[in-house]
Structure 1
Amino acid sequence: MDPAAAAAAVRHRLRDDAEPVRNLATFLTTSFEPEAVQLHSAYLNRNLADREQYPATDELVQECVRILGELWGGDGCRVVGSATTGSSEAALLAGLSLLHRWEERTGSGARRPNLVMGAGVHACWRNFCRHWGVEPRVAPARPGCVGLDGAVAAELCDESTIGVVAVLGGTLDGRYEPVRDIAAELDQLADRSGIDVPVHVDAAGGGFIAPFLDPDLQWGFDLPRVVSINASGHKYGQVPPGLGWVLWRDRDHRSGRLGFPVNYLGSNHTYHEFTFSRSAAPVVLQYYNFLRYGFAGYRSLHARSRRLAQDLAARLRATGRFQFLGDGSDLPVVAVTAEPDLKLSQLARRLGECGWAVPVYQLPPDLEELTAMRVVVRSDLRPSDVVAFAAAVDEFTRPHAV
């Protein structure tokens, strides 16, 4: 085939996919400015791993780490971190560092390590536990809440606990877990028992929301018990899919066993990621966004999304047919369950016919009899879209329509 024919064939194969802008299931950024698209194309062929040939690109990585470290309450001169292919890789690296440091502290022996988390954690944490032989200690979900709280977290910890994962913006409900309360309970546990458990914050959603919209919220490196944080640049960091970040408060809290030396690119460098060769374009776009938006720009962008999410929640609440897991007060996400006579799967199909893709999913154990529906409000959703979406829901949920 010639290039035009091959491109046309690919487009034809993908013609039935959902339109990304109307995909309210995804957290990933779906719209980009022309300048961002041009930059992404221009740097697509640069290998992020080749620090010898692209030293300025590596400097961008380090500058982004410094910016994020300060944004998350750390010392920009002390934080260390990596750009990853997504937040899942970042979480796996953080989990492995927790495991290595626990082994170094305790000698491990015959005891099986465990990791404490809430029922609403991302699937990558269960994958981490499965592949590295760690027991997942999962706090049960409760009516109206799938997250972890401090008291339960402390109860689940013992000498074999490598860490507690606190989620800043759950995938299932968009809610922040109370990181400060979790850290305080673990401080008390350490005082009375000597069991000293570090906290990792999975801020895949909230890492680019809370610093701008909730500046008084304590959740990051300003809490001494928080040793590492991961986030998704390709979610609310406004970067195309393919970028995550993992940061540690300093070199002492990142396990040295994560590093591996490489010299075949022309000089000696130590890498701390699982992946190696990958495009530098997402990192270039992250730095572009830091320049483009600045603090005030990110705050304005996300404040608009939160307002739209809360407006949507108010419109859905007015139907009287939903109970809310998340109402847009934390992440700009609306998550609902429904009365028994309202089938969310049928509602989702109806919304699909109107062009809106929304997920319906089963809640975790202890609430598994319930299904939920989630709407993610991103920066490219318009007020008129919220009105149209809510109107479609209202039409379906009226008594005569059920």
Structure 2
Amino acid sequence: MEKDRFCIDAKSVMERIDENTICVGAIMGTTFTGACEPVKEINDLLVQVKENKGLDIPIHVDAASAGFILPFINPQLEWDFRLPQVRSINVSGHKFGLVYPGVGWLIFKNHTDLPEDLIFYVNYLGDTMPTYTLNFSRGSGMVLAQYYNLLHLGQSGYTNVMNNCMDNARYLANKLTDSDIFELVNNLELPIITFRFKNTPDFTPFQLSQKLRERGWMLPAYNLPDNTDDMTVMRVVVRETFSRDMAETFYADLIKAYQILNETEKEHLKPNVSPRRGHHVT
């Protein structure tokens, strides 16, 4: 991260790759800001590198958050297996796949993209079978729950759910920016709102987050990583259960908490004046 850049870009990738690079990782929905990295630009760069230098460098896309969102709200955006250098993608079903923790998916474009070194064979179930997962007992309930959602909701159902999440996210984001207290840090490509104070008050985002807990809200507040660690942001992830009414309530509580802290800090900043000595009446 840099002051004016919160995710990787093709230029920074070019500066870091060489003949020892085994993969480039790109994130769709970064942890800190919810931004989507320019996978197509990175892919086009790596295609040129392949043609000019003979280096076939694959891309792994971490789409833990965006993998169940972008195909439904922005299907034209190319970040997936339509790009030749994208060879593997991981997605979290327990995020916007609408399933409880913990289920996730690691998908390879082709079986040849899965290195043989990662595969081992087991025969304790009566037959020899290949596997590249961690080998321990685990319930399959979440896999069945994901399968149920895929069948039950289908493409149209997921599209409706994700569009509703985006509508509510845009609504709340507009309320935040219209308040003239906050400003957005991201471009709202996903229903993830990252914001900060527009002007620096006499209290911190951490104090605002703590104040909101009194109303039952858990608002993450944190510093961004190195090079931008002097910036503190707050984040709201708009899930399918976050309704328009809930957005209104959250916004009202947020502004109220801000006002209370603002007034409290003003009182603390007042000069200490000794009270006048008066008569005691008994």
**Structure 1 residue 144 displacement after superposition:** 4.7
Partner of 1:131: none
Q: Which residue is 1:369 aligned to?
A: 230
Mapped contact 1:335–1:372 kept (Cα < 8 A) = yes
Select the residue among 216, 223, 231 that pairs with 1:355: 216
**Shift in alpha-carbon separation, 1:182–1:241, aligned structure 2, 3 A:** same
Query: Is residue 304 from structure 1 mapped to residue 164 from structure 2 by the alignment?
Result: yes
Match of 2:45 in 1: 185
Pairing partner for 1:393 from 247, 254, 279: 254
Mark the runs of 5 or more structure 1 residues left unpaired by the alignment.
1-140
| Distance in 2 between residues matched to 1:256 and 1:194, nearest whole Å | 23
Q: How far apart are the structure 1 equivalents of 2:135 and 2:237?
A: 29
Structure 1 residue identity aligned to 2:246? D
* Residue matched to 2:80: 220
For 2:212 and 2:246, how far apart are their aligned partners in 1?
12
Output the CA distance in 2 between the equivalents of 1:348 and 1:192.
Answer: 51
State how far apart, in whole Å, the 1-side matches of 2:127 and 2:182 are. 59
Aligned equivalent of 1:259? 119
Contact 1:154/1:189 (8 A) holds in 2: no
Q: 1:275 to 1:350 in 2, by over 3 A?
A: farther
Structure 1 residue 270 corresponds to structure 2 residue 130: yes
1:242 aligned to 2:128?
Answer: no
1:337 aligned onto 2:196:
yes
Per-residue CA deviation, residues 57-97 of structure 1 (Å, 9 max, x unaligned), is xxxxxxxxxxxxxxxxxxxxxxxxxxxxxxxxxxxxxxxxx
Name the CA distance, whole Å, in 2 between partners of 1:145 and 1:302: 27
Q: How does 1:158-173 map to 2 (within 5 A)?
A: 158-173=18-33
For the residue of structure 1 that corresponds to 2:89, the secondary structure is strand
C-alpha deviation, 1:277, in angstroms: 1.6
Q: Give CA-to-partner distance per residue, 1:90-138, whole Å, 9 cap, x none.
A: xxxxxxxxxxxxxxxxxxxxxxxxxxxxxxxxxxxxxxxxxxxxxxxxx
Partner of 2:46: helix, strand, or coil?
Answer: helix
Q: Is contact 1:395–1:401 with CA below 8 Å preserved after alignment?
A: no
Distance in 2 separating the partners of 1:319 and 1:383: 17
- Corresponding residue for residue 90 of structure 1: none
Taking structure 1 as the reference length, the TM-score comes to 0.63
How much has 1:275 moved relative to structure 2? 3.9
- Alpha-carbon deviation of 1:295? 0.2
Q: 1:290 aligns with which of 129, 132, 150?
A: 150
Cα pair 2:212 2:257 within 8 Å, conserved: no
**What letter corresponds to residue 205 of structure 2 in structure 1?**
L
Tell me the secondary structure at the aligned position of residue 380 of structure 1: coil
State the match for 1:316 in structure 2.
Answer: 176
Structure 1 residues 376-399: Cα deviation after superposition (integer angstroms, max 9, x where no partner)? 110111211100111122223345
Name the SS for the 1:372 alignment partner. Answer: strand
CA contact (8 A) 1:326 1:334 kept: yes
SS at match of 1:326: coil
Give RMSD over aligned pairs: 1.5
- TM-aligned CA deviation for residue 373 of structure 1: 0.8
By relative contact order (CA 8 Å, sep 6+), the higher-ranking structure is 1
| Gap runs ≥5 in structure 2 | 266-282
CA distance in 2, matches of 1:304, 1:222: 26
Q: Which residue of 2 aligns with 1:68?
A: none
